[in-house]
Amino acid sequence: MENRSTALSNLFMLLADDDLSILYSGGFNDSITSKAISLSEINIANADNGFVKMRKKASFLMAECFQNIVRHHDKKVEKTELVGRNFFSTRKVDTAFIISSANVIKEEDSNVLVQKLEQVNKLEKDELKQLYMHALSNNELSDKGGAGLGLIEMARKSGNKLKYDIKEIKDGFYHFYLQLGLGDVNTAKSDYLRSNKALHELLIKNNLFLVYKGDLSKGSFESILNMAESNLDGQIDKDSALRKKVSIVLIELLKNISKHSLKRNGIQTGLLAVGKKGNKFIIGAGNVIKNEEVEPLKEQLKKLQQVDQNSLTETSGLEEIAQNVREPFEFDFTPRDKDRMLYSIFTVI
């Protein structure tokens, strides 16, 4: 794992132009799916009118993308170290909404998927509709979802070509990346398929399973917590002391970055990263602050790093964090421009 502050800075750099980013790497279930969709919908609802109109399409495409991961899941992966390396992301950048996924598959399955995608991408809107109706009427279904029905619907609903890539992992297993987009994806400034692969690798390298960058309003705040808590289910007993500590640190870190963050396009924004290595949970957070805020905050953080946990009696946010971490927390301030710094804090519970 790279230096934690460096990891957070790299995340910020890769997501610099994003108004919203939700990245998830791990196991998938209905609860995770619904929480990710809910969180994205809140951010879409807070966006301009053009995106609000896309809400239904975006929700459908996100659900279909999750289903695509499940549909092409190879059970052989469950017996390898590659289990839990699937990936899902939604990113809003300017007038584009990008949805991406990656799942671990065998080479022979990737060849079939490529053939279906090439076929779908050659067709225009009316031809896609005809192909979809033909597949339905002829009951061309298989154990992998058949006839590429999901892929056809994604192409129809998004109105854009489906982008994909395949990257070999090891022992005949591959990561299959799929990307679809709403809005002006063709005028987007970045190669999002390439950057999503880099983000996925960064999450794996740093043992992170959830990254959120975006709106920190009350609705988003609650949805972020719900998504993180859903992932903890099955990993830690809900009534355990560790679960309570993780929940406290999550809440207080979100409050802390919300309190200190500068607004982006009129919205209070920040970044949260959650992960696990062995029996330890990793939670990091960051946001951009004004230069004049750095020294007072730095002094407060340094004092808390040196204080014995048992001597802390106050219940303000940073004291709550210091009381519940397993190791002294790390923090960093990285220049963004002449007026602003990236403030990041990492904890281990």
- 101-116 per-position pLDDT tens digit: 888 888 888 888 888 8
pLDDT at residue 79, rounded to an integer? 55
**Band (147; pLDDT cuts 50, 70, 90):** very low
The model carries a pTM of 0.86
State the Cα–Cα distance between residues 214 and 21, nearest whole angstrom. 6
**CB 318, CB 328: distance < 8 Å:** no
Sketch the domain layout of the chain as residue ranges: 19-233, 235-349
3-class secondary structure for 87-138? EEEEEEECCEEEEEEEEEEEHHHHHHHHHHHHHHHCCCHHHHHHHHHHHHHC
- Band the pLDDT of 268: cuts 50, 70, 90: confident
Mean pLDDT of the chain: 78
CATH number of 235-349: 3.30.565
Of 11-25, 34-48, 175-189, 320-334, the least confident: 34-48
> What confidence score (pLDDT) does residue 295 get?
92
Q: Is the pLDDT reported for residue 154 higher than 90?
A: no
Provide the pLDDT for residue 143: 44
Q: Is the pLDDT of residue 157 over 70?
A: yes
Is residue 5 pLDDT above 90, yes or no? no
Distance CA 295, CA 314 (A): 22
User: Please, which pLDDT band fits residue 80 given cuts at 50, 70 and 90?
Assistant: low
Q: Which CATH architecture has domain 19-233?
A: 2-Layer Sandwich (3.30)
More confident residue, 199 or 233: 199
What pLDDT score does 43 carry?
63
Identify the band that residue 300 occupies on the pLDDT scale cut at 50, 70 and 90. Answer: confident
The pLDDT tens digits of the residues spanning 316-333 come to 677 788 888 788 788 888
Most confident of 25-34, 260-269, 299-308: 299-308
- Nearest 5°: the CA angle 291, 296, 301 is 110
Residue 146: its pLDDT value, please?
47
Residue type, position 21, single letter? S
Query: How large is the average pLDDT for residues 265-279?
Result: 82
Handedness of CA 217, 218, 220, 222 (dihedral sign): positive
